[in-house]
Copies of this chain bind each other. A is one copy, B any other.
Amino acid sequence: MERTLPGWVRREFEPANPDFARVMRAGEVLQGAIHFLGMRLAEFGKGWAEMHLTHRPEVSNEMGPVHGGIVAAMADTTAGFATFSLVAKGENTVTVEYKINFLAPAQGETIVARGQVRRFGRSIAVVDVDVFAVSKGVERPCAVFLGTFMRVSDTSALSNPGPR
């Protein structure tokens, strides 16, 4: 499978939480929907994240490709992780809104979503996500997402993982 794409040039920001990698992994473990759908956080850095989803019958629509609602949920989750890599300790982000354009059916063995923070302000973050369907090593774009997230303080376990 091709991991890189012309244009997937990751831009990194400085995270407020030096322990961000541990928080990201803890977040992956805690989010039930991620496991239910079979998504996994494949790679991430300061301001970007890449998630993978293996195509299985449970996530397909009537015609075979992955259901559009799952593509959208995957893009939203990936964007959320991209912002989550930059928050301060005890902080989280919530989705304010997003727009998604469906470009082609999500037909392939694996669905790959790559999210990049475009702006990380004091209260608002803007993220875009490209979603690809990978079939026999070839990536084909299937959706584009542009969303707005809000930083919120969060006292739950998600933003405050326990000691290692």
Contacts and interface: CB of A to CB of B under 8 A. Distances in A.
B76 A104 contact: no
* Chain A contact residues, majority secondary structure: mixed
Interface string A30-49: 11110000000000000000
Interface string A121-135: 001101010000000
Interface in A66-84: 67-70, 72-73, 76-77
A68 B95 contact: yes
Interface of A: 6-7, 9, 11, 30-33, 61-63, 67-70, 72-73, 76-77, 94-104, 118-119, 123-124, 126, 128, 141, 144, 146, 148, 150, 156, 158
